[in-house]
Chains A and B, each alone.
Chain A
Amino acid sequence: MPHLRPGPRGIVPKLVPMESPAVEIVDLVKRYGGATALDGLALRAERGAVTAVLGPNGAGKTTTVEICEGFRTADSGTVKVLGLAPQRPELRPRVGVMLQAGGVPPAMRCGEWLRLVARFYARPLDAQALLVRLGLADHARTPYRRLSGGQQQRLSLAAAVIGRPELVFLDEPTAGLDPQARHACWELVGELRGAGVAVVLTTHHMDEAERLADHVVIIDRGRVVAEGTPASLTGAERQLRFRARPGLALEELLNALPAGSAAKESPAGHYIIEGLVGPELLATVTAWCAAEGVTADDLRIERRTLEDVFLELTGRELR
Chain B
Amino acid sequence: MTALDFTPAPGAAPFPRMVLAQAGAEIRAMLRNGEQLLLTLIIPVLLLVGFSLAPLIDVGGGRRIDFLAPGVLALAVMSTAFTGQAIATGFERRYGVLKRLGATPLSRAGLMLAKTAAVVAVEGIQVVLIVAAALALGWRPQGSFLGAGLLIVLGTAAFSGLGLLMAGTLRAEATLAAANLVYLVLLGAGGVIFPLSKFPAGMRPVLELLPISALTGGLRSVLAQGAALPLGPLAVLAAWAVLSLALVSRTFRWE
Contact = CB atoms under 8 A, between A and B. Distances in A.
A166 B100 CA distance: 18
A161 interface: yes
Nearest to A167: B8
Interface in B90-148: 91-92, 95-97, 99-100, 102-107
B11 interface: yes
Interface string A167-201: 00000000000000000000000011011110000
A116 interface: yes
A102 B1 CA distance: 27
Contacts of A93: 10-12, 105
Contacts of A71: 99, 102-103, 255
A227 interface: no
A-side interface size class: 35 or more
Nearest to A113: B25
Contacts of B103: 69-71, 92, 95, 97, 99
A107 interface: yes
B22 interface: yes
Contact of B5 (A106, A120, A122, A195): A195
A13 B7 CA distance: 10
A12 B100 CA distance: 28
A187 to B, nearest CB: 9
A116 B96 contact: no
A8 B104 contact: no
Interface in A61-109: 69-71, 89, 92-95, 97, 99, 101-108
Interface stretch (A26-34, A129-137, A206-214, A239-247): A129-137
Interface string B1-37: 1101111111111000110011001001100110000
A135 B85 CA distance: 34
Contacts of A119: 13, 17-18, 21
Contacts of A92: 12, 103-105
Interface in A236-261: none
A288 interface: no
Nearest to B11: A122
A163 B99 CA distance: 17
Contact of A7 (B1, B7, B17, B28): B7
Given A89-B107, A103-B96, A121 B10 contact: yes
19 contacts: A5-B7, A11-B9, A13-B8, A13-B10, A89-B107, A92-B104, A99-B100, A103-B97, A120-B21, A121-B104, A125-B6, A129-B2, A130-B4, A132-B2, A133-B1, A163-B104, A164-B6, A165-B8, A197-B6
Interface of A: 5, 7-8, 11, 13, 69-71, 89, 92-95, 97, 99, 101-108, 112, 116-117, 119-123, 125-126, 129-130, 132-133, 159, 161, 163-166, 191-192, 194-197
Given A105-B92, A119-B17, A121-B105, 5 more contacts: A8-B5, A13-B9, A95-B103, A133-B1, A159-B100
